[in-house]
Amino acid sequence: MCRLVAITSNEYFSPMENILALDTMKEGHDGSGLGLVMKDLGGDFMELKEYPILSAICSRNGIKTLNSYMKRSGFNVKHAWSIKAKNGKGIPHHDYYIANVYEYPKAYANKTMREKERLLLETRLALRQMGEEDSSIFVFSFYPDVITIKEVGDPLQLAEFFGLDKDPLKAKIIFAQGRQNTNYAIYLYACHPFFIQGYCSMTNGENTAFLPIREYLMSRGNPGYTGYNSDSEVFTHILHYISRELSYPLNYYKDVITPLKDSEMQGRDDRDAIRLLKMSLRPLCIDGPNCVIGFTPDGRCFMAQDSKKLRPGVVGGVKGKYGFMSEECGLDRVIPERDKSRDIFPMKYDMVIVEPEAQEVKVWNQLKG
C-alpha cells in the first residue's frame, strides 16, 4: 500500500511537515518513492502566481533540449529555481531538478486562460515525448502556482537529498505520497500525485477497472489523457473530465466513480440527474479498494472512498489547517492540538471536502445528497 499526506492551510508551511508525517507512517510504505505537489506557493514564488512553472528532471542533454524547445516556442525564463541536490545512498541522482517560471509567449499575451492552459498542456506533452525514450527529460507539471517534485527513494532521505529541511520553499496546499512498491518497478511517471490543468489527486489502492476507464478517457479527444504508467492516474483525469470538461459540481465526482444502486437513489432530490450520470458515464465507475485524495483549481481539497472501503483514511485538524492522512498517527504528527473526537473517517458513501484556506470542513453523504 501507499501512504498519503495532504495538508491544506491558510498559512504557508514547509513540505517537511508532509514528509515527517510520511515517516511517522513508515510501516505502511517501503521508502521506494516520494511525490510532492505544492499549490499556492510562498517564498520566492509568491509574486509570480500568474506565470506558469515547469517542474522537470533532466540529464545534461535533456536540459539543452528543453531550453532550446522553450526558447523556440517563445517562453522566456522569468525566474529560475533548481534544487541543489546532495549525494544520497540509493537515490538515482539526476543532473538537473528544476522549477522554472516562464513568461507566456508574446502571441498569448491577450489570450484567455483556457487557451493558455491548452498551450501549457501541449508544451508539457511535447517535452515529455522528447525525453521519454532515453529518460533525458521528465516533466511533471507546467502550470501557474504549482510545483511538482518526484524521485525514487525514502521520503526522509529525499528531503535531505533535496535540502527541503533548509530550503524556504513553502505552500498552502501540499500533497505527498510515499509508495509501497508492491506491483511493479518504480518509474517516475508512475509516482503519485498526478496533476493536470489545476486538478490533482493521489490514491492508495488498486484500480482493477483501470483498462475500461483508460479506454474511455482516451476516446474523449483530450491529449492530456495519456501516459497511464499507473492505474491511479485515471482518478485525476476523471476529476478533470467531470469538473472541467463537463462542468459538474465536485460532489458528482463521487457519484460517477462510485454510482449508487437505483434503490439507493430515492433519497436524493437530484435522483433523475444522477441516474443519467450513472448510465452515460458507467465506464468511469471504479472497482477498488481505493482511497482518493484530491484538490481542485479553487483550492478545495477532498477525500473519498470507494464502496469496498478497505484502505485507511482520516481527515482532521483545526480551522485554518486540515490534514488528509492514511493514518491517525500522521495527523498527530502534523496537527497534535486538534480535537481528536472530531476526526472524520469517511466511509463508502462519504466525501469529505475542506474549503479553500482551510476554513470549513464538510462531510457530503452520497445517500442524502
Burial call 6-45: b when 16+ CB within 10 Å, e when fewer:
bbbbeebbbbbbbbbbbbbbeebbebbbbbbbbbbbbeeb
Query: What's residue 16's pLDDT?
Result: 96
- Do 174 and 196 fall within a single domain? yes
Q: Which of 295, 305, 298, 332 is nearest to 316 (CA)?
A: 332
304 and 352 part of one domain = yes
DSSP string of 232-297, one letter each residue: THHHHHHHHIIIIIS---THHHHHHHSPPPGGGGGG-TTHHHHHHHHHHTGGG---S-EEEEEE-T
Mean pLDDT for all residues in the chain: 92
297 and 199 in one domain? yes
Q: Are residues 210 and 335 in the same domain?
A: yes
Q: Are residues 173 and 257 in the same domain?
A: yes
- Is the residue at 250 inside a domain? yes
Among the listed residues 301, 315, 299, the one whose alpha carbon sits nearest the alpha carbon of residue 39? 299
**Residues 58 and 164 occupy one common structural domain:** no
Residue 272, in any domain of the structure: yes
Domain annotation covers residue 44: no
Q: What's the grid cell of residue 61? A: 542533454
pLDDT greater than 80 at residue 153:
yes
> Which range marks the domain in which residue 177 is found?
3-38+150-365
Q: What pTM value is reported for the model?
A: 0.95
Q: How many domains does the chain have?
A: 2
Residues 92 and 64 in one domain: yes
Q: What is the structure's pLDDT at 85? A: 65
**Could you say which of 124, 144, 164 is where a domain stops?**
144
108 shares its domain with 220: no
- Per-residue pLDDT, 310: 77
pLDDT tens readout for residues 11-69 = 999 999 999 999 998 764 455 789 999 999 999 999 999 999 999 999 999 999 999 99
CA–CA dist 237, 54 (Å, integer): 20
* Position 368 pLDDT exceeds 60: yes
Q: What is the pLDDT of residue 184?
A: 53
CATH number of the domain within which 137 lies:
3.30.70.260
172, 39 contact by CB (below 8 A): yes
The answer to whether the CB of 30 falls within 8 A of the CB of 155 is no
Do residues 208 and 344 both lie within one domain? yes
pLDDT in tens, 82-126: 876 666 666 777 889 999 999 999 999 999 999 999 999 999 999
